[in-house]
Amino acid sequence: MLPTSRLPVVALTGMTFEARIASGPGVTTVCSSRADVLTEGLSAAIAKGCRGIVSFGIAGGLAPHLRPGACIVARSIVTPQQERIDTHLEWASHLLQAIPGAIHADLAGSRQLVSLPADKIALGRATGAVAVDMESIIGIRMAAEHGLPFAAIRVVADACHRELPPAAQIELKASGSPDLPAVLRSVMERPRQVSALMRVALDTRTARAALLRARRELGLGFGLLDTAEPQLAPQAAIAPAE
């Protein structure tokens, strides 16, 4: 096995465009919209050897003050069971210094898409998290299991007040790419959603641009190669959410 300093960081993503942005020297990307496929791919990457795991991509906003493009470096991930698992403190601190305007806050992990404003607000209040995604919970649990440092960088795409139209809720292909025929069928069946779908597309474009800017700042290995020899921070433990 390669020395730890030469091992890659694994970037965990749910969508193909996120994986393309995440890729680069010192990075292995694992991408899927399906939890089982994502878990299998992450397990294989860990078996080959890695330096740490980072969850990277867009997220749904849970806090009213956050708009599309807001970048969050996770302080902890709150599970559906209301447990809080802290991220790697030193790595997160480095990311916050490297990404202009990034905020340090909690992310909620969800097994399903949260599409309604009322549900987003309720989840935010219940967890104290400012955004939600579906990949971070998988990554941080496996990182804890294997004694690896974990970080999450997520950019808000759909704001707290934004309801996702039916076409935007269609399940992605397992590869993480959109199911375009299904999207087109949804639009043809419910043409009144077109304006809402266009707003979602514009918000996602804003989030994608923010992801690109953040990625450019991080360089080799998502900045983990610039920190000390990786180890789980003492506070990277599971605790009940407040």
Give tens-digit pLDDT for 31-55.
999 999 999 999 999 999 999 999 9
User: Phi and psi of 5, rounded to 5°?
Assistant: -65, -15
Residue boundaries of the structural domains of the chain: 4-240
- Helix, strand, coil shares of the chain, percent, nearest 5, are 45, 20, 35
Return the CATH number of the domain spanning residue range 4-240. Answer: 3.40.50.1580
Tokens coding 90: 């030193």
β-strand 27-31 against 131-133: which pairing, if any?
unpaired
E strand or H helix at 132: strand 131-133
Number of C-beta neighbours around residue 6 at 10 A: 12
**For tokens 């210094």, what's the residue?**
97
> What is the pLDDT, as a whole number, of residue 2?
44
> What is the pLDDT, as a whole number, of residue 70?
97
Give tens-digit pLDDT for 70-125.
999 999 999 888 899 999 999 999 999 999 999 999 999 999 999 999 999 999 99
Res. 224 pLDDT band, cuts 50 70 90: confident
Tokens coding 219: 């360089």
**pTM: predicted TM-score of the whole model, two decimal places:** 0.89
Count how many residues are written for the chain.
Answer: 242
> What is the pLDDT, as a whole number, of residue 162?
92
Tokens coding 134: 């579906």
